[in-house]
Structures are given as structure tokens and as C-alpha cells.
Structure 1
Amino acid sequence: MNLQSAVVCELKEKIQGSCRLLILVGIAGIGKTALAERLVVELQPDWTKFHQENFENEQQASDFASVAARWLEKWGEAITQENRQDTNYLLNLLVKRLRENRYLVVIDSLESILEGNEEEGWNDFKDNEWAKFFESLLSAESCQSRMILTSQDLPEQIPARYKNFWDCTVLSGLTKPERLQLFDKTGLEVGADSPNTPYLERIGAAYEGHPLALRVISGEICSPPSNGNVVAYWNKEGHEIEKVEKAIEEAKTKGITASANDQWRLDRYTRELRKNVRVRLEKTFGRLKKDVFNAYRLLCEASVYRCAVTEDFWLSHLEDWDCDEDQQEAALDVLRNRHLVEEVVEDDQFLLRQHNLIRSMALEHLKKLH
């Protein structure tokens, strides 16, 4: 059983148990929606009533009353104009419906309905009725339905006191074997004796197993002009991967831990990467810049680090922007909550780093910041 299958089995068991609300979080393109869809396939024999909502769809209202009315009408409830104005009525009816029926509901891009402020935190619902709804669902004596949420941010208003009934799973990139499995499934020759394998392993490592990026690259290799020729693709585009490898190696062996001059273009060196990966990550950066400018500054400033460094190194960059200690910590907390910073342990120390793909974009944003 590979790691992904093990994760699916573990999450399936949770949903079949007491977990009413499963939240999958991680950076854009890391595979949250794909995992949710796989779980749905595994679960549908038990939960035949399925509904999916995507808050990235700007054509539909995302306030609680509108969504609740839409769901209830789809499920056969007659909702009058007067009912639509009564949020408590809609909330109670929706929770009742979910409690008494075996619905499996998937909500994608939950971060689209979150906002924040410095006093109360940065991951609150724009419409507080959503917070009331999730609390009502979790506090109910029993509930037959299950919900799977995908989000780049974890909502802070999901009550910790009901932790027995909800779970948050943070997704990271594919492991080395899983990366090769992905390339194999897309039609590329992968094997111990294949000349493709060393190059594909290097591509997978540079992108730290980011599924969307690797699928895009695999699709490009399989299409003209490469037509599946991995070596030809590498000869044309491999220099971008080599820049990343060189920078990381210099950080490890020569102590060159920081450089704002690294010209990483992992997110944009081909048209397909720009279209499918960069655009999605740009939305993440745009929301961060709009919502929490100090956190955006910190993400950009810390992109100079090629490797994991201490928290003090990161926070020192905000001193130049006249941020006091509380503001510095608040900015870093936002990056943690939005999974734009990774915490690792090296030599018995907790250190901070950026995913290579995030750093590639942050370096570009850094140029515009000064």
C-alpha cells in the first residue's frame, strides 16, 4: 500500500467513525480536491446522497443564507421568500436535514469565504452565520451526514472543544515513489533501468512532490515537441531545475544560506506552468497582500533564505518595516495558518522554510516590494 492509499484509508475510517467534519488544508495545487474526490468514491456506497459546493465559483452567492437555501431546495425543501430572510430558520432546518439524513457534502476553496482583522485573527468567516452553522453541526447530539472541506487556511472559528467530531489534515507533497508513480500513470517510461528516471526524480525533488506542477510538466513532456522524450525536455528546460539544485547545494555545503538574487522560475518557465500553477498561486499571494500586508512582506523578505533558518531570522526582516514584536508574531502566525511556511526540525532545532514553489514566486514579489 502506498502512502496516498494509506492516507485515504485513515481518513475514510475517521469519516466512517465520529468525524463529522474533515478539513483538508495545504497550498494551492497540493492535491486537496483530488484527495476529497477520491474519498467520495470510497465513501459513496455508504453515503449515496452527495453534494459539492465550490466557493471559487464567483457566479453563485456564498453567504450562508443563500447557500443554505440552495442546498435545501435541491434536497426537496420548499423555501419561501420569507424563509430566505430568516437565517436562524435556514440554519436549524439545514442542520436538522444533515443530522437526520446521510449526506456527503464536499466544500471546495473554503478560504474564499474567509477574512480577518488584527484584533480577532485572520481566518474568520466573512459571514458569521457559517461559524454558527459549523458549531451547531458539531454540537448536535448526533449527525448522520459528513462534510469534507478543502482550504488553504484553517478557519479559526471551528470550535476546538468539539475536536472529537472534526479533524484537520495538512497535505504535503508526494513522496519520491509517489512522484514516479504519477509520471508512470501519465505515460512516461519509469523504471530502474530507464534513462528517464534520474531526470524525473530531479524534477520531482525540485518541486517537492507538488502534484499539480508535476502533472503539468508530465503533460508537457508527453506532448509535442517532446513527445515523451524526457531527456530532450531536460536538455531544453532542465537548467531551471539545476538553478534550484545549485542553490540548495550551496546552502548545505558552502553556508550560502541567503540570496535575494536567486532567479528561480519554477512557477512560470513554460506556458502551461504559468497557466495552471502560477495563476492559482498568484491568487494566494494576492489575498495575502490584501488581507495581511505584514505577512505578505514577511513571506517576500524571507524568500532570500535558501534553506531552513530560525524564527528570529525571519522576524528580523519586519524590524525594518517598524513592526513591533506582537505585529511580527501575528504576521508569522498568518503564514503558519495559511501553510505558506513549513516548520522542520534539524539538529534539535525548530526551523522555518518555504516550499520551493512558494519561494520561486516570493522572490519575484520581493523585487516589487522594494
Structure 2
Amino acid sequence: MSIHSRRYDIDALRFLVFSLLIAYHTAMLYLDGAAFHMKSTYLTETLNFPMVFINRWRMEIVFLISGVSCAMMTQASRGAFLRRRLARLLLPLLFGVLLVVPVQPYCEGVSNGLVEPGYGQFLLHYFGGYAWPAGAFTGWKTSFTWNHLWYLVYLLLYTLVLAALQPLLAQARPLFTRLRGWRLLILPALPTLAATVFLKLRYPENHALLKDWYAHAIYFTMYLYGWWLGNDKGVWQELARLRWHALLLAPCAFAAYLGFDLVYSENLLTWASAGSWPMRDLYMWLAICAILGWSHTLLNRPFSWLPWARQAVFPWYILHQSAIVLLAFWLVPLRLGPVLEPLLILAGTVALCWLGTSLLISKVSWLRPCFGLPALPRQAVAADTALPAN
């Protein structure tokens, strides 16, 4: 199989990882002590360890998968590559920021008692540079926010950097592709450890693009790893061979990381940081290696649900957090209980994403590019036939 043919495991893993965001962001409503746009009255600390277990690699693997996808496009000229990526990312970003995201600051501000009810009036103020009360909602200082769509902003930036530096990065590719055995499981964690040591405390992650140097160092490194991985068929066979090693070592690194972090917070520079930070980054990379190795072994086949998943993943990503926040805005005041409430929010979010994508976005030709999907071919629009695979 050519390394640039359809990678079923990457398609499947992309959908599964982005689907995890729905569960993760729903859980954020209930995690005590964690900032989110809405909070339930049923807060708990029992979610802390599972959330940390996921959080240490969830966005890193998203950027890595994006890098793998880009590797399959960079065989064309840099101009063609950039046009394709900008067309896929820029319009959904603008559409999402202008029409999908605003419901989140509205719900957040009304729930905080700092925004007057009335969505139409809110939008006039929101786009008019209104001076919001302090802490009205996330992004109140600029009267504008991209919230969860920060990923698309960062991905656009990294795509431009990759296109500009592609010849230089291609020359450095052998340094990565020669990694095999224990070197593959350990050495790629060293650059992220350097970023943690030198940038984490000085530039805390803010998703605001500017002065977010720690996040950029981590996420661009993972994006670059994905680009290198996507250009190396042999490394996938090695990841599959090492999948048991990574699966067994990752929990050990996580346990060691938690042990040091419980002594003192990882966000403070103490003697425990000398153990916490290396174990944090090692766990992150081992977890990703385990996921990639097992995915390549189990998911690299043409499942019947993959064409649908390829169509759904981008619209679901754009819609999901606004759906979660809106449903929480409606349901949290009803005090339905610590079981029924999260189940309704989770099920409702899935239903809104499913219905919005299947009944509207995928059917309307001009809407499809706004959510990262190719426009329907004319014959498909006329015949109203099944949608083409992405």
C-alpha cells in the first residue's frame, strides 16, 4: 500500500478523537475547579484523574493527525497545497466564529448575570465592540472570541509555516524516520520536555494565538511529527510492533507523573518538577504511540461507517461545543439530577450534531464548504443521491 493512499486508520482515529471532545467538553461542565463556559450545580472532583489522563494527550494527537493528513497533500506543489488547505480551513473558521460560536458567550454571560437576555441585542453589542462588564464571558475584553475554534486558527498558522519551511523540514526528515525501538518511544518526548522546562511557566497556554509560546511549541512539534510520520511507511509498522510496549509503559509513566504532581503542582517550579515534567511528556508520547500502534493494527480497514464519519467529523467539531453550552444553559436551571442532566446534555449534543449535519449541512451545497465539506457535484444536487466520500 502506498503511504499516500487512503489511510483508513487515520480516518477512523480522527473521528474517534474528535468524538472524544464531545464527552470531554460535556464532562467539563461537572469538573470542580476547572474553568468552562458553563458549569453545572452538580460539581465533582471524581472526574479529575480521568480528565487529566485524557487531557495530557488529547489535543497533541489532534495536531499530530492533522500533520499526517497534510503529509498526504504535500506531494503537490506548495501553491496547490496552500490553496487546498486554506479553502478547507479558512471559510469554516470565519463561518464558525461569526455564526456558531456567539451563542457560547451569550449563554455564559447571561448565566453570569452580566449580559442582558435577548440574543438579537447581544449580537448587536457583540459585533459592535461593546464594553462588556469585567468577566462577562470568555473573551469579554475584546468583545470577540473564537472559543473552541482556536484549533483552526493554530492549524492555519502551522500550515503556513510548514509550506514555507517544507524544503528544510524535508531535509530533517531522516532524523525522525531513523527512530526505531526504544528511541521511537522516548526521544520524541525530549523536544516537548524542553518546551515544558523553558516555556510552560513563563507562557501559560491561553489559546489567544499571541504570547502562547508554550502551546505553539508543543502543538507545532506534534503537527510536525505527524507530517514526518505521514511520509514514512516503515514507522507505522514499528508503532504496531511496539504497541504492547507503549500500552504497558504509558500507565507507568502516568502513575509516576501523578505521584510527583501530587507532591506539588506541576504549575509551580519545585524539586518535584524534575520528576513531574519528564514523566508528563513521556506519558503523553507513550500514550500517543500506543493509540497510533493499536489504531494501525485494528482500524486500517474500510469500515462501512467510514465514509459517513469522514463527512461528519468537521461539522461535528464546529457544532459540538455550542450545542453543549446551549443545552446546559437550558437544562442546568431545571436541576434534573447528577445522572439525568449530563445524559441529556450528551445525548442532545450528539442529536443536534447528527441532525444538523445529516438533514441540513450535508444537503445544502453552499453550506457544505462552510463546514469543511466539498460542494456537492451538480449531478448529485440534481439527483439528490448519496453524498460522495470526503
TM-score scaled by structure 2? Answer: 0.24
Structure having the larger proportion of residues in helix: 2
Highest RCO, 1 vs 2 (Cα 8 Å, sep ≥ 6): 2
Structure having the larger proportion of residues in strand: 1
TM-score scaled by structure 1? Answer: 0.25
